[in-house]
């Protein structure tokens, strides 16, 4: 369903020494998930390689089969979050139809992603803050393209007469994306509010408020 960067495995850890032992279970997906979990729980600075190794029941030294250091995991958490989230969401907003309908589809998909992938959303937000600019470059263009796509849909929705003309498409897009990412702060996948219901509210508030009255 989702193009999953984890499946590409540890060859992504450029320069990392890959063990040759074929009988070693590939712990790569677990490693990236544990990193995302710990970044979300304790913050990047508060997470040590020892914490990550402990969560996986590995020795700290074994992590160096996969990565050169903790900062490598920032990139891998980001890549995985992009693969699971942004790319899938953006794809859903392709296709025919009025801009406002595409926006609703996209908001629904984005809200659903944030509500179900809470660990990768929180891990992503934490990783984003700590990623050095030179390593952020590969993500910047994709994120910008996503935001520009939302902006363009808002502008088209205005031209089509569905959305309020007094809104600035850029400010509206920034508000909307910030709102959607903020859901991870309180939504719990096992919470009392169904994800379906939360997504409905996200569409109501996110898009309903932009519609012409």
Enumerate binding residues for a second copy (CB under 8 A).
42-46, 129-130, 164, 166-168, 170-172, 174-176, 178-179, 181-183, 185-186, 193, 197-198, 200-202, 204-211, 213
d(CA 42, CA 201): 30
Q: How far is the CB of 95 from a second copy (least distance, A)?
A: 24
Nearer to a second copy, 18 or 42 (CB): 42
- Closest CB 85 distance from a second copy, rounded Å: 16
Q: Decide: residue 167, CB within 10 A, 0-12 exposed, 13-18 middle, 19+ buried.
A: middle
Q: In the complex with a second copy, which residue's Cβ is closer, 64 or 179?
A: 179
Lookup: tokens for 206: 């996110």
Q: Which tokens go with 21?
A: 């032992």
Q: Compute the Cα dihedral for 170, 172, 175, 181 and give only its sign.
A: negative
**In the complex, least distance from residue 33 CB atom to a second copy, rounded to whole angstroms:** 20
Nearer residue to a second copy within complex by CB, 8 or 50 = 50
Q: Are 39 and 81 in contact (CB under 8 A)?
A: no
Residue with smaller CB distance to a second copy, 102 or 127:
127
As measured in angstroms, the least distance from the Cβ of 173 to a second copy is: 10
In the complex with a second copy, the residue whose CB is nearer, 13 or 73, is 73
Closest CA to 77 of 45, 114, 125: 125
| CB 80, min distance to a second copy, A | 21
CA 156 – CA 69 distance, rounded (Å): 45
Handedness of CA 206, 208, 212, 213 (dihedral sign): negative
């Amino acid at each position: 369903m989702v193009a999953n960067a984890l499946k590409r495995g540890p060859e992504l850890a450029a320069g990392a020494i890959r063990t040759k032992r074929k009988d070693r279970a590939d712990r790569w997906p677990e490693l990236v998930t544990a990193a995302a979990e710990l970044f979300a729980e304790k913050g990047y600075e508060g997470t040590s390689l020892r914490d990550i190794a402990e969560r996986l029941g590995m020795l700290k030294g074994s992590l160096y089969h996969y990565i050169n250091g903790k900062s490598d995991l920032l990139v891998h958490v980001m890549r995985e979050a992009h693969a699971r989230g942004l790319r899938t969401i953006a794809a859903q907003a392709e296709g025919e139809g009025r801009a406002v309908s595409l926006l609703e589809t996209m908001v629904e998909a984005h809200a659903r992603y944030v509500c179900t992938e809470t660990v990768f959303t929180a891990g992503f937000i934490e990783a984003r803050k700590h990623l050095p600019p030179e390593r952020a470059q590969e993500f910047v263009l994709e994120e910008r393209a996503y935001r520009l796509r939302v902006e363009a849909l808002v502008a088209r929705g205005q031209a089509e007469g569905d959305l309020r003309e007094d809104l600035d498409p850029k400010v509206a897009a920034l508000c909307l994306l910030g709102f959607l990412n903020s859901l991870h702060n309180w939504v719990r996948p096992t919470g009392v509010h169904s994800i379906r219901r939360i997504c409905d509210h996200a569409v109501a508030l996110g898009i309903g408020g932009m519609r012409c009255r």
